Amino acid sequence: MNADESYDLEWAVRALAQPPTVQREFFPSFVCVPDELVLEFEEHYRRFVNGAPSLTPEQFDAFALLDRLIIEMSGPTHAELWLDGALDSAPEWVAVRDAAKSVLRTMGWSAEPPGRTCATYVGPPE
Give residue-wise pLDDT tens across range 80-90: 999 999 999 99
- The pLDDT, as a whole number, for residue 4 is 55
CA dist., res. 85 & res. 67, Å (int): 21
Whether 100 has a pLDDT exceeding 90, the answer reads yes
Average model confidence (pLDDT) across the chain: 88
Provide the pLDDT confidence category of residue 47 given band limits of 50, 70 and 90. Answer: confident
- The pLDDT, as a whole number, for residue 115 is 76
51, 104 in Cβ contact below 8 A? no
